[in-house]
Amino acid sequence: MSTFLGLPRRRTVPDDAAPFGDVPHPDDPLRWGETFPDAARAALANTQLRTNLGHATSTIRAKRALVVDEVPDWEALRDAGSAIKTDVMARLPELLTELERNVTARGGVVHWARDADEANRIVADLVKATGETEVVKVKSMATQEIGLNEALAAEGIAAVETDLAELIVQLADDMPSHILVPAIHRNRAEIREIFLQRMGDVPADLTDAPRELAMAARAHLRRKFLSAKVAISGANFGVVDTGTLAVVESEGNGRMCLTLPETLITVMGIEKLVPTYADLEVFLQLLPRSSTGERMNPYTSLWTGVTPGDGPQAFHLVLLDNGRTDVLADEVGRAALHCIRCSACLNVCPVYERVGGHAYGSVYPGPIGAILTPQLTKSSAGGGGRHDDPNSALPYASTLCGACYDVCPVKIDIPSILVELRAREVDADREGRPTGWGAAMKAASFVMRDERRFELAEKAAVLGRLAGGRDGRVSRLPFPGSRWTSSRDLPVPARQSFRSWWAEDHDGPTHNEPPHDGPPHDEDDAR
Amino acid sequence: MSARDEVLARVRAALSGDGKAGAAAPSAAQPARTYRTASEHAPGSATALEILVDRLEDYKAHVHRASGDDEVARVVGDLLADARSVVVPPRLPAGWTDALGAGTVVVQDSREDPRSALELDEVDAVVTAARVAIADTGTIVLDGEPDQGRRAISLVPDLHVCVVRAEQVVHTVPEGVRLLAAYPGRPQTWISGPSATSDIELSRVEGVHGPRTLHVVLVG
């Protein structure tokens, strides 16, 4: 299987080491690999991948269902979460400036980045100013989205991922395939193999027991945590009225990064705000149950600027746009910005479960990725939602079953947005030029406007029976009909049209008795 | 134009309806809060404590009951019988460490006189108080005050003994958040069981980078 077409760049491991994955780091974390249909076809042939994903997603679905059922006011919490996020988007300019004011008042420094390159530049300069060449990182979708690790590597700075799944992905020189568990496509045996070959200080008798693998990661990262001078994180929430930031995690790697180093740099999308501290009572109930299926995740860290004598004494917050304002400008699509990155929609999606995250060609896979990625990239090079933009295929990566909407903790109506984006893609593609579909509809309109023309067409259609096979289906037509029959069969026309049967069976148009029997039954027409 | 001004200008344009999709600004209605913000189980009530214990044990924390400070000392002494050293915050309630064995060194730490991360790595255990506990989710919140200490001391040592008073135990998350909202600027750590990961095949494994063992001593 090959799902990569671009040139690999800035590998994080020596070039002579063959990558474990077949997805080397692409140039654009939001647009890589083949288009979804091609990548999905290849992924479906990978039985190991399907086994791994089927096992993992069914486990997490059961856990989530159990802890969500425990909460008597779950729907009220979802409503509140949705309303709070709608309010945030409506008041985003004032909320952003208020957050900036409150973070600054508590000793933090706020930076603004229009796009990925600008954010990477800001972070690289901040790290260089400390004189350090290695930084520890908390798992963060924002830094995945901007390709921060690769950008830092190009400046001679090594970024060490400390979340277990991110570490697995980084050691394998792979790409993440899930928002919450980036290494969900790997099973324990593959992870053991990656550790043995890439970790360096791993015990030789390592088995594939998850506990042993976790302990190997603990030992590997311990020294790095204790000596790190600079940490980089994302943020789950930015509380506007207090200037407080929140990181929700499980392993304690987040606490290590947020507590021990001297300098902390946090990259956060401009949409991650909540207006008040009390709003955390909603999201800290919704997020853990939706994401890991736990009542509460093991560790949540909240910090406000700098606390003298406790934790990093230099704090930088980078506020990132990178296409978010394009999403915000879209009346329908802007709800995608409400996402709190829980990944529940990935775990319930029948499409995601079968093709995995890499097929989406973006660090945001699954249903949320299918609406977020094309919107984030519509103004970037190669974007625009047109057919030649690979991301324009993403809204079709869905059966519209609606499971994603049902589990979304902030009630993002993903199916409706998918349909809207599909319509936009069709419209953008047409751009005034006649399409086959449009021409066919025009021709049909010409024929159906006139009774005599329609009658002639019906007679002609009966001749179409000649193209049918023994199964009563037309499977191959010459062009332009081939554009239909290449993807689906056409039933053969009936032996007799309804109009001609009616004329035979009834005396005239004024006859108003109910018909005593139906049209002549024809075994060939049974379907 | 600076990046700040440009991003803010783009946000305003996006909301003004001048955006590409001709979008109207979304409504800024005050969100309705019909979820539970209070509980029939009062803070410290027997039911609240029972739920907390159930949740803590479900996530592999060890729970111990103590009737008063004397008994806290005895429990702490028992739990740390094998510890060579224990770090404590500057104003841990007097008496809690009175029953430690002679072989256990007590290491003091404070914002003014902090131990380094490498020094803390040599310490076997930590004893702290807590700010609030949330029964519904089995969560204990530390907010860095002098009876709980710097965030680092409850992170680096491998064993954490956290003493929670019964009256600090609330039933729901909103009750806990509303107590914490009195001092939102304090650095908070919400702890729900020992560190854990679900990153390998989404199976939960307890004990990664944070303390691998969590003992909660409930007083009263």
Q: Is residue A477 one of the residues assigned to a domain? A: yes
A130 vs B: CB within 8 A: no
Q: Is residue A453 one of the residues assigned to a domain? A: yes
Q: Is residue B106 one of the residues assigned to a domain? A: yes
Residue A109 or A456, more confident: A109
Residue A136 has pLDDT above 70, yes or no: yes
Residue B199: CB partners within 8 Å, gap ≥ 6? A163, A164, A165, A168, A181, A183, A214, A251
Q: How far is A364 from chain B (nearest CA, A)?
A: 18
B57: left (phi over 0), alpha (psi -120 to 50) or beta: alpha
Are B150 and A311 within 8 A, CB to CB? yes
Are A281 and B136 within 8 A, CB to CB? no
| Confidence (pLDDT) at A480 | 74
Residue A22 has pLDDT above 70, yes or no: no
Going by pLDDT thresholds of 50, 70 and 90, the confidence category of residue B18 is low
Q: How many domains does chain A have?
A: 1
Segments forming the whole domain that contains residue A499:
436-525
Helix axes A47-69, A280-291, angle to 10 degrees: 140
| Confidence (pLDDT) at A427 | 81
Residue A50 has pLDDT above 80, yes or no: yes
Segments forming the whole domain that contains residue B156:
39-219
Distances (CA, A) of B54 to B77, B126, B135, B165: 24, 23, 9, 17
Q: Which tens digit of pLDDT belongs to each residue from A302-343?
A: 999 999 999 999 999 999 999 999 999 999 999 999 999 999
Q: How far is A461 from chain B (nearest CA, A)?
A: 42
Are B26 and A309 within 8 A, CB to CB? no
Q: Ranked by mean pLDDT, which of A26-40, A153-167, A377-391 comes out on top? A: A153-167
Are B112 and A211 within 8 A, CB to CB? no
Residue B151 has pLDDT above 90, yes or no: yes
Q: Is residue B195 one of the residues assigned to a domain? A: yes
Picking from A106, A285, A304, the nearest residue to B173 by CB comes out as: A285
3-state DSSP of A226-283: HHCCEEEECCCEEECCCCEEEEEECCCHHHHHHHCCCEEEEEEECCCEECCHHHHHHH
Q: How many domains does chain B have?
A: 1
Q: Which tens digit of pLDDT belongs to each residue from B34-54?
A: 999 999 999 999 999 999 999
| CATH number of domain containing B205 | 3.40.50.10420
Q: Which residue of B has its CA nearest to A84?
A: B31
Are A252 and B208 within 8 A, CB to CB? yes
Residue A289: CB partners within 8 Å, gap ≥ 6? A64, A67, A68, A71, A295, A409
- Contact, A93 vs B11, CB < 8 A? yes
Mutate to test the interface with A, among B7, B155, B172 (most CBs of A within 10 A): B7
ipTM of the complex in this document: 0.95
Mutate to test the interface with A, among B30, B110, B197, B206 (most CBs of A within 10 A): B197
Any long-range contacts for A194-200 (C-beta under 8 Å, 24+ apart)? A194/A20, A194/A168, A195/A168, A195/A171, A197/A20, A198/A13, A198/A17, A198/A171, A198/A172, A199/A171
- Contact, B24 vs B17, CB < 8 A? yes
Going by pLDDT thresholds of 50, 70 and 90, the confidence category of residue A33 is confident
Are B34 and A277 within 8 A, CB to CB? no
Q: Which tens digit of pLDDT belongs to each residue from A463-501?
A: 777 777 777 788 887 777 787 777 778 888 888 888 888
Q: Token pair 């924390």 is at which residue? A: B61
Q: Is residue A446 one of the residues assigned to a domain? A: yes
Distances (CA, A) of A436 to A156, A431, A476, A479, B29: 53, 13, 17, 11, 46
Distance from C-alpha of A197 to C-alpha of B162, rounded to nearest angstrom: 40
Distance from C-alpha of A234 to C-alpha of A138, rounded to nearest angstrom: 7
Q: Give ∠ CA A86-A89-A95 in degrees, rounded to 5.
A: 120
Burial of A201 (0-12, 13-18, 19+ CB in 10 A): exposed
User: Which residues in chain B are closer than 8 Å to A313, comparing Cβ atoms?
Assistant: none
Question: Residue A108, SS3?
Answer: strand
Going by pLDDT thresholds of 50, 70 and 90, the confidence category of residue A162 is very high
Per-window interface: A 145-164 vs B, CB < 8 A: 162-164
